[in-house]
Amino acid sequence: MEKKTKESLLNQAKSYTIEENFSKAIELFEELESLDKTDPEIKLFLGIVYLKYDDYLGAIKKINEALLIQPKVPLANHAIGASLFMLENYSDALFAFDKEIEINPNYPDAHCDKAYALVELNEYKKALTEGEKAIELDPNYPDAYNIVSVAQNHLQNLELAEFYALHAIKLEPLKENYYLNLSNIHEKKGEKEKAIKYLNKALSLNPNYREALFNLGLLLLKKMEYKKAWPLFENRFGIGVKYKKVDNIWNTRSSGSEKVLIKLEQGIGDQILFGSLFHELEFIDNCKFYIELDERLHITFRRSFSKLNFVKENSLNKNSYTSEYNLGSLGQLFRNNTKDFCRQKIKFLQSDPIKTSIIRSKILKKNNNKKSKICGVSWNSKNQKIGKFKNIDLHEFIRILNIPDIIFINLQYESNIDDVVSFSLRNKIEIVSIFDFDLYQDIDSLFSVVDVCDYVLTISNVTAHIAGSLGKKTFLLAPFECGRHWYWHDSIKKSLWYPSVNIYISKKISDWTGAIDEVHQDIVSEFNV
């Protein structure tokens, strides 16, 4: 092949790449590669086009071939890192970005993308350092300002986060993800209308921007605008949840006999929440329902809903049902405005009555039946991403735990018992821990332990859902914004989903003083203690 012809083909392939005609570019690069299998530049460019064409595995394979020929070819490791990032393999992406920086230390894109990977790995301070390095190398690099903003947001430096976000937008006003980031900042500040404004701006730039659509749905759910929110909530798959979306092909108006599979999604708490709608399914004629749930919930739900069938995830073959529906999509069938919640049951799940009675008798007997009320306490969430915003140090409950004539029991199923005992001895307060069951695996027994309580004091975790489903008087402490789920609204004190749950929201991030004072006052008033 003549050099001139090769250069001509190469230039044409690069032109197609710039024009985003990736299929044509791939065709030419593959032709060039077939004619010269030893040229690392062709393999590199082909790998980069694969990356742009969303063929991430193909990109990694081809670029690694280029590196075998020329180990320190610039941009190669960066492209591999970008491909790994898109495959959500953030640790390996970080390694690839570091290799690029070793070869090419003054390349701002590598520092910037390394910062994005560090954010995904929850290394926010390191991400900030890398983002600032990218800005130092290129003061007009909008993506670097955006990732610094994202890192500052995670570090709770909201004013700085907003400053950097606005600077990124000033440099590049047509990037939809910059407006999503700015929306997240305003949501965390409690400025929902501004958050919605910037989501709408992102969607004006990209109407199919799934993450913005999903976030808008969550904000509207918080505002209890259900009719508008539920269709947007359908964008949760691949963003908010890691389960597979089905097409919701069940027609609720069908007159024929149907076997409907309700597909599992989300965690135990959300499964219990949407379980509050199951009694509505029992009254639908000509339908037999199979509902996928976490296996730990089966005993309790079978006891509570005798007309429904509860199965393990993916345990039924396609011939076992005629239609399927997403569990989290039930809301749009039954709850489209606040008036619909008048059908919400105060208690929709039942604990094992014999087990509950035995546990209660043991607790009262241990305390010589001197104290008349039992209060369950839960103060911690294991959620790695948002748990820190929801968790409360047990010591902050000290004023409540000193209320007389109350037996306090530990509902924290993964608590360190030694820490609880140490706290109790140090403060001369007894918190009873139940050792008879593995309350993590044996969720049905946890329902019984919660059901022995006259009331429950808890943060936003599984305990809150269990207490609400049992109709227990519950004092729920929810965080200001970050870490607060859409179903703990900020404009009403009583939960719509769990009528027995009262909601107390912190006034700012990690400041629980006012909310705990309110709970203390209401417990004293409610139970005359």
State the pLDDT at residue 437.
77
State the pLDDT at residue 253.
62
State the pLDDT at residue 256.
62
**Partner residues linked to 259 by β-bridges:** 288
pLDDT in tens, 146-167: 999 999 999 999 999 999 999 9
pLDDT in tens, 494-506: 999 999 999 999 9
Of all residues in the chain, the percent with pLDDT exceeding 70 is: 96
CA distance 64 to 250: 47
Cβ neighbours for 425, distance < 8 A, ≥ 6 positions apart = none
State the pLDDT at residue 2.
45
pLDDT in tens, 72-94: 889 999 999 999 999 999 999 99
Instruction: Please report which confidence band the pLDDT of residue 241 belongs to, taking 50, 70 and 90 as the band edges.
Output: low
- In degrees, to the nearest 5, what angle opens at C-alpha 360 toward C-alphas 354 and 364? 145
Q: Is the dihedral of CA 299, 384, 484, 493 positive or negative?
A: positive
Reduced to 3 states (helix: H, G, I; strand: E, B; else coil), residue 292 is strand
Is the confidence at residue 1, as pLDDT, over 60?
no
Reduced to 3 states (helix: H, G, I; strand: E, B; else coil), residue 323 is strand
Residue boundaries of the structural domains of the chain: 3-171, 258-343, 353-527
* DSSP summary character for residue 259: E
Instruction: Please report which confidence band the pLDDT of residue 268 belongs to, taking 50, 70 and 90 as the band edges.
Output: very high
Of all residues in the chain, the percent with pLDDT exceeding 90 is: 71
Q: How many Cβ atoms are within 10 Å of 441's Cβ, its own excluded?
A: 12
**CATH number listed for the domain at residues 353-527:** 3.40.50.2000
pLDDT in tens, 115-151: 999 999 999 999 999 999 999 999 999 999 999 999 9
Q: Put the strands of the sheet holding 501-505 in their side by side order.
A: 431-432, 406-410, 373-378, 455-459, 473-478, 501-505
pLDDT in tens, 450-462: 999 999 999 999 9
Query: Domain 3-171 classified CATH 2.40.50.140?
Result: no
Average pLDDT over residues 519-523: 93
